[in-house]
Structure 1
Amino acid sequence: MTITSLRRAVLPGVATLALALSACSASNETDTASGGGDEAAAELSGQYTIGGASSQEAAQLAWTTGFTEVAPDVTMTYEPVGSGGGRENFISGAYMLAGSDAYLTDDEGELSDATERCGGEAPIEVPNYVSPIAIIFNVDGVDELNLTPETLGAIFAGEITQWDDPAIAEENPDADLPSAPINAVHRSDESGTTENFTSYLDVAASDSWTGGVVETWPREFGGEGAQGTSGVVSAVTDGQNAIGYADASQAGDLGTANIQVGEEFVAPTPEAAANILAVSPLAESAEENQLIYDLDYLTEEADAYPIVLTSYMIACPTYEDQAEADVAKAYLEYVIGPEGQEQGANEAGAAPLESGLQEDALAIIETISAGS
């Protein structure tokens, strides 16, 4: 089964919604597919502040800047206050849109609160930013590195401590592995990247990783801590025989490990990272206007890289104010459309959404309107 056919097999509600929207005019469809750059958007105006996940900061700077070409009289500002802050401000009504590295749940009542904020309608949630989390390394004499999930988990749990350990050697028979200690570098700060990385390890490396899903690194596993993505990259770059995890766009000249998926070892390319959404099921709680995913960390699809950061945009299906509804719709069309996704890839290293997923998200965004 191809990725596209598999994706459509798990999106029956979206397919129905897309069919219902087919009565829209051809010109409207063309405008939506190109990111919403139509005459109506050009007539919009006003100043709007949105915010949320700091992972989206670079991409959102590119998008808010690029959006001025679509809507010259709109000033859009994105505040990187973190996913939790974004969700909180959306629920309170301070933001008309929010970015979040996790979809809304009712673990702490956020989904119900957001539904209430949206007048009793389930909020729209669509992915807009996907980035591979690369396993970066700087190991003497090693240019290419293959790792299985269990070996990766054992390295970061402090169970495998030497580069010439039999487990690593078996996965890299052609590599000249040094007989040297492994310097495993992790984030020292509270981190969404750490949370996404350990979410993968918790499922795919459950025999070797016992730390669970965490935002703050477990001290008992040791290793070297570094502040922020730049700190991890610097520590691996300047360290000896070091390995760490970071947004792939920040890897620079460092080596990036290939991770076992099925019987293949897959590199952290943007295309492979985006494909993980295409092979993953929608969350059980997903409504028809929510493209939220429980990532399939155990996929055997060789063109999908499983260690990713997936971030969403949250919106209301209906806004009380017509201007707010028009701006929210136009901005999301721009971000999710081909132009915005290409801009995010070029300027922030994001993985462009697969074209079919873009179409499904745009069909949902098209339904945004103002209340009667």
Structure 2
Amino acid sequence: MLRHLTRTLALAVALSISAGQAYADTALKGAGATFPHPLYSKWFRDYQAEDPTVTFSYEAKGSGYGISRIVSGGVDFGATDKYLTDQELKVAPEKLLHIPTVIGAVAVAYNVPVAGHGLKLTPQALAGIYQGKITRWNDPILVRLNPKLGLPSRKIVVIHRSDSSGTTSIFTDYLSAVDNSWSKSVGKGTSVVWPVGVGAEGSSTLVKKIEETPDSIGYVEIAYALENDLKTAAIKNRSGRFVKANALSTRAAAVQAMQKKAGKAHPAERDFRLSLVDQPGKEAYPIVGLTWLLVYQQQRDAVQGKKLVEFLRWQLRKAEKMTSTLHYTPLPETWTTQVEQTIGSIHIPQ
């Protein structure tokens, strides 16, 4: 009898400890952009090492998916490379905040075996390829830009994202800004009606398609291109220089636009929604964008809200130093205080 009672008490204690541990863990769910996914994955792992009571889950299915999930209340945070318009924000049940995290460049990657590195493209040439006006690698326009590459006569295989994508939003925002015919015929957004090309769902799938398809071209966040050793084109910027995507050219593109935008509002009312494409500056890479975390200003759960705010403060102050190793560009220091104030405006229920 005593032995049975001892075993019963031991089992009860074990169950109590187990239940207490389960209660202590706070699960934060997110969904959205594949653009920053390599970086966010590292942030989640590193933060869990500092605070083991937090667990993260993240569905990298594109910015459109992240927006729909946060608006429907299915996740604690959404991730997007395309900011929401005033009209889109009205659909959300409560006030959504845009928390900018990092800046990234959209590289134009290609797989032309005989051409080697060094492809140069003007905005009009890039738009022409994606409109189906330039269909072969030895088109006179491309040969004039790249006389030493020995471009082949083979057909260009155009690859684009098939899902609702923030990377697509940045890419088409750029093409709309630099090419009037693109702006009128195709436009910009997370999803567009592509004149030509083969679709790929997600950044990783797009990379794989480029790798497996000779004579192909596609657009992808620079981290994916560099991590997979893809060739990337130099794009002619507003100053007339051909610039490749890297940390310096990304920052050069972002600083001026961000300073102008940030100076317009009271610090507590910053609006971090802005486009960074086609910025002036000799060193500026022209296809650059911000990526944001979408969170509700009014949190519904005290524990989850507190943990989410703690993570947001951590990534702003500490994780930005990790960005360069994964080829992202941190926010300018001039923005840190303003972003922190926005995070501080999140209300956690008592």
TM-score interval, smaller chain: 0.7 to 0.9
* 2:307 aligned residue: 327
* 1:159 aligned residue: 133
User: Structure 1 CA distance, aligned partners of 2:169 and 2:120?
Assistant: 23
Instruction: Give the aligned residue type for 1:49.
Output: L
For the structure 1 residues 218 and 91, does the alpha-carbon distance in structure 2 shift closer, same or farther, using more than 3 Å as the test?
A: closer
SS in structure 1 at match of 2:116: coil
* 2:45 aligned residue: 65
- Report how far residue 87 of structure 1 moved: 4.0
Instruction: Indicate the structure (1 or 2) with the bigger Cα radius of gyration.
Output: 2
Q: Is the 8 A contact 1:52 1:84 kept in 2?
A: no
TM-score, normalising length: structure 1: 0.73
User: Structure 1 CA distance, aligned partners of 2:207 and 2:65?
Assistant: 26
Matched, 1:218 2:193: yes
For the structure 1 residues 97 and 284, does the alpha-carbon distance in structure 2 shift closer, same or farther, using more than 3 Å as the test?
A: farther
- Report how far residue 168 of structure 1 moved: 2.0
SS in structure 2 at match of 1:282: helix
User: Structure 2 CA distance, aligned partners of 1:86 and 1:186?
Assistant: 19
User: Structure 2 CA distance, aligned partners of 1:273 and 1:289?
Assistant: 26
For the structure 1 residues 57 and 199, does the alpha-carbon distance in structure 2 shift closer, same or farther, using more than 3 Å as the test?
A: same
Q: Give CA-to-partner distance per residue, 1:46-79, whole Å, 9 cap, x none.
A: 4032313132433332222211243333334334
Instruction: Give the aligned residue type for 1:357.
Output: W
User: Structure 1 CA distance, aligned partners of 2:202 and 2:65?
Assistant: 19
Equivalent residue runs for 1:75-224 within 5 Å = 75-80=55-60, 82-91=62-71, 95-110=75-90, 113-115=93-95, 123-139=96-112, 140-207=114-181, 210-216=185-191, 218=193, 221-224=195-198
Q: Give CA-to-partner distance per residue, 1:316-370, whole Å, 9 cap, x none.
A: 4554665445323221111222x31233543x54332233333432343245454
Matched, 1:257 2:236: no
User: Structure 1 CA distance, aligned partners of 2:240 and 2:284?
Assistant: 12
Instruction: Give the aligned residue type for 1:103.
Output: Y
- Report how far residue 243 of structure 1 moved: 1.6
Of 57-66 and 197-206, deviating more is 57-66
Structure 2: which 5+ residue stretches go unaligned? 1-23
* 2:294 aligned residue: 314
Of 135-144 and 95-104, deviating more is 95-104
Equivalent residue runs for 1:326-345 within 5 Å = 326-337=306-317, 339-345=318-324
- Report how far residue 249 of structure 1 moved: 1.7
For the structure 1 residues 201 and 68, does the alpha-carbon distance in structure 2 shift closer, same or farther, using more than 3 Å as the test?
A: same
For the structure 1 residues 144 and 49, does the alpha-carbon distance in structure 2 shift closer, same or farther, using more than 3 Å as the test?
A: same
- Report how far residue 250 of structure 1 moved: 1.9
Q: Is the 8 A contact 1:161 1:181 kept in 2?
A: yes
SS in structure 1 at match of 2:180: coil
Structure 1: which 5+ residue stretches go unaligned? 1-44, 116-122
User: Structure 2 CA distance, aligned partners of 1:92 and 1:208?
Assistant: 33
Q: Give CA-to-partner distance per residue, 1:130-176, whole Å, 9 cap, x none.
A: 32211011222332011111111001111012323232233334433
Greater than 6 Å deviation, 4+ residue runs: 283-287
- Report how far residue 183 of structure 1 moved: 2.4
For the structure 1 residues 108 and 168, does the alpha-carbon distance in structure 2 shift closer, same or farther, using more than 3 Å as the test?
A: same
* 2:4 aligned residue: none
SS in structure 2 at match of 1:114: coil
Matched, 1:50 2:22: no
- Report how far residue 187 of structure 1 moved: 2.7
Number of residue pairs matched by the alignment: 319
Of structures 1 and 2, the one with the larger relative CO (CA 8 A, separation 6+) is 1
Q: Is the 8 A contact 2:63 2:190 kept in 1?
A: no
For the structure 1 residues 211 and 104, does the alpha-carbon distance in structure 2 shift closer, same or farther, using more than 3 Å as the test?
A: closer
Q: Is the 8 A contact 1:316 1:368 kept in 2?
A: yes
